[in-house]
Amino acid sequence: MPFAGKWHLLALCACLSAWAAAERSAVPLLLLVAYGIYLIFGRQFRMLAAFAVLFLIIGADVFFFRTDRTVLSEKQSVFEGTVENSPVFDGNQLSFMLKTSSGEVVQTFVKLPSEEVKNKLKRSIRPGARCRLSGRLERPAAPSNFHAFDNRRYLAFRHVYWILKANGPPLCRDGPVSPVNRLKRFRQDQIDRVNALFSPASAEMIDALVFGDDSGFNPELADAYRLFGLVHLLVVSGMHVAVIFGCLFFIARRLGMIREHIVILFLLLVPVYVILTGAEPSIVRSGLTACLFFLSDLFKKRRLKAADVIGGACLIMVVGDPNVVFDLGFQLSFAATFAILITGPQILERYRSPLIRIAVLSIVSELAVFPMVIFSFYQLPLINFFLSMFFVPFLTFVILPLSAGAYLVGILSPFSADFMSFVIDSFLTFPHQALLFLYRHPVLQLNYGALSPWLLSSAIVIIFTVLLIWERFSASWTLPLLIAPFFLIYALVVLSDWLSPYGSVTFLDVGQGDSILIRLPHRQGNILIDSGGSLPYFQKNWEKRRRPFEVGRDVVLHELRAMGVGSLDAVVMTHSDYDHIGGMKSIVGQLPIKRLVISPYFDPDPADIELFRKAAGTGSEIDELKSGDRLNIGGTVFYVLSPAGRLNRNDDSLVLQSTLGGKSWIFTGDLGSDGERRLIAHYPAVRADVLKLGHHGSRTSSSENWLNQLNPSIAIISAGKNNRYGHPHQEVLDRLQAHRIAAMRTDRSGALQFLFTKSRIVRIRMAVVQE
């Protein structure tokens, strides 16, 4: 196996990444220990030494150097410091990193009062500017759903422990500017120049490919690139360094420059280029790699192997900041690069067809990054491989040169920018339309969910076993074998679900709204009750965010995918209030839904009717259910207790009762006291062990008679943190206390999950642990 030793580099990278991704779980740690023992028995002492050095560096940082302490105090209200990065203007919000006079960096958010102030700040606030502002410090919020992005952890790994909410616009002035900040300012000026000269579609591509800035990228298109595993193409990386400095080398040689002088010049220019393109881990890796190659050439040392140079760059980055191993960009960058270096020569030797070479390289690269990608994004569209075969060469050899050329032409002749925009837009229009169509109409997607640590470790073992077999044998049967791990790992996920005796009821934290996911044991069915919804409100054009928060897409759909929900057997829309069903617009069409359940008194508006049409067009059956009807999912019966007739929007909510984990559950929507009286009259023997309170704990619900009749032991209150309605109302909380009913609230505990078997509730989880 001529390349077997090199596989250890990729194996080590994958194991470390799995350990980081699984939040240092014991299972990937055991895999790392087993890998170390394998190296000892295999007498791979050089790799063992690298293995030990990495762990010593990370361990020393964790136990001796990393303090996670701050010198700032919550009581502090006035701040002065230096702007560390290019400020981001997003609608009526300004954000930037402020390095305070104490030397600590805080993430700063400013709500802009007017368009005039926004335009003024765009001219005055720049990297290196000294700013003074007042505000309050807040700890970054812990994620309030089980699989939500952990911004607190993300910032902590970047040594940021506070968020500063400014009371008003900062007062900024210029002072001495460091060379690094001058480069950052130049970058910001050029991005602004590109945005002013070129069309939006061209500008976003030039910003991403030339300057490594994707903040202005179309949000939906960025999601499509991310879903199909193409987002790395929008990040400045090794290919950009190779293309740009390769062209510069060619030009310099034609101008008669001596090779040694060119190498010295490049050693000075590469760090400048890294800063100009944002200094993200992928470009830092590329810059370090290039510098190591140049130094080797300059000192006339034997030509270093590419794998050794990449490994050296990895060690330098880890020594510089051990936290970088927890950065997804770092993990993906090194894993993909190792895969290409290791397999590239063998692919060229084994396969003659350029198309097959591209396909195999794409599959191997996907295998290399699979453990990290799936742990973060949960799904794999099988069409990825075909899209990569087109988009990788298309963006690399067509759009990148066009973007760089357009930028240079725009500097020399601004009047030519419109023509260059037309050219770039013409090339991008059809590919981007096709990408968006596939994103909006998902096909051939394997939904793995958030892999448990043991599944993640199993995935790594499967992937590297297959890669070693492919490397050892050159027979034609090894080509389809490369695709096998994706299906084997998916089969493991499905099998573990089928064998699992546990079901769950999860009350998602959707702010001021309701959304409940019920998963039945042994993969018997998934039921979603309501979807939450972000209430729309009027904003002027300048105030609108590029990607406003949408609870259906950013919370509910994300959590469904993370929990491995590939389809929904039923979606119950209790009533037509936006905070209960507004999120459905982001779910319909993204997940197959068998039945959409409403009451006969739903009273849809035009937007609801359009939603029903879209659902029906994707194969959903629209059912109307009322009191006395039943909903049977996988052998579990949900009894409809209400409505029995029309009262009002809230009291016409669909109310469901079912037995889960040996306990009686009632889900009430926004049922009010009038609806409660009517339900009790129809069902005088009704009882509940777990009750989802109506209308978020409003004083108009959960009446004394209702609680007396149902006699629950647990009450669930789904309400937004610090909501303007004052939910849950103190009167309701007092009633619950008087009846000795345990109140569990999403505004305090985040998402709530009840794990159950056929006969009992085995565990209750809260997304937010009370500090």
- The three state secondary structure string of 262-274 is HHHHHHHHHHHHH
The predicted pLDDT at position 327 comes to 80
pLDDT in tens, 130-151: 999 999 999 998 899 999 998 9
Report d(CA 300, CA 79) in Å as an integer. Answer: 52
Q: Is the pTM for the entire model greater than 0.85?
A: yes
Report d(CA 88, CA 759) in Å as an integer. Answer: 53
Report d(CA 597, CA 615) in Å as an integer. Answer: 11
Three-state DSSP state, 505: strand
Cα torsion for 692, 693, 696, 699, to the nearest 10°?
A: 180
The predicted pLDDT at position 11 comes to 52
The predicted pLDDT at position 470 comes to 86
Report d(CA 524, CA 540) in Å as an integer. Answer: 47
Residue 266 CA neighbour count, 13 Å, CB half: 31
The predicted pLDDT at position 68 comes to 58
Q: Which backbone phi and psi does 79 adopt, to 5 degrees? A: -135, 145
Buried b (16+ CB within 10 A) or exposed e, 455-481: bbbbbbebbbebbeebbeeeeeebbee
Q: Tokens in use for 363?
A: 């599959």
Q: Tokens in use for 66?
A: 């990393």
Q: Which CATH superfamily is domain 500-536+548-766 in?
A: Ribonuclease Z/Hydroxyacylglutathione hydrolase-like (3.60.15.10)
Bridge partners of residue 171, in order along the sequence = 132
Whether the CB-CB separation of 20 and 326 falls below 8 Å is answered with yes
Distance spanning both ends of the chain, measured CA to CA: 54
pLDDT in tens, 454-478: 888 788 888 888 888 888 887 777 7
Report d(CA 45, CA 39) in Å as an integer. Answer: 7
Residue linked to tokens 């007396």: 708
Three-state DSSP state, 399: helix
Q: Tokens in use for 409?
A: 């032409």
The number of residues making up the chain comes to 771
Three-state DSSP state, 407: helix
Which residues neighbour 250 within 8 Å (Cβ) at sequence distance 6 or greater? none
Domain span(s) for CATH 3.60.15.10 in the chain: 500-536+548-766
Q: Tokens in use for 234?
A: 């929008």
The predicted pLDDT at position 741 comes to 95
Residue numbers in the chain where pLDDT is lower than 50:
1-7, 21-22, 24
Three-state DSSP state, 660: strand
Domain span(s) for CATH 2.40.50.140 in the chain: 78-177
Which residues neighbour 644 within 8 Å (Cβ) at sequence distance 6 or greater? 626, 627, 628, 678, 679, 682
- Say how far residue 382 (Cα) sits from the centre of its chain: 20
The predicted pLDDT at position 47 comes to 67
The predicted pLDDT at position 24 comes to 47
Report d(CA 213, CA 235) in Å as an integer. Answer: 8
Q: How do beta strands 663-667 and 636-642 pair?
A: unpaired
Report d(CA 99, CA 147) in Å as an integer. Answer: 31
Across all residues in the chain, what is the average pLDDT?
A: 86
Q: Name the CATH topology of 78-177.
A: OB fold (Dihydrolipoamide Acetyltransferase, E2P) (2.40.50)
Which residues neighbour 254 within 8 Å (Cβ) at sequence distance 6 or greater? none
CA quadruple 690, 691, 697, 702: dihedral sign: negative
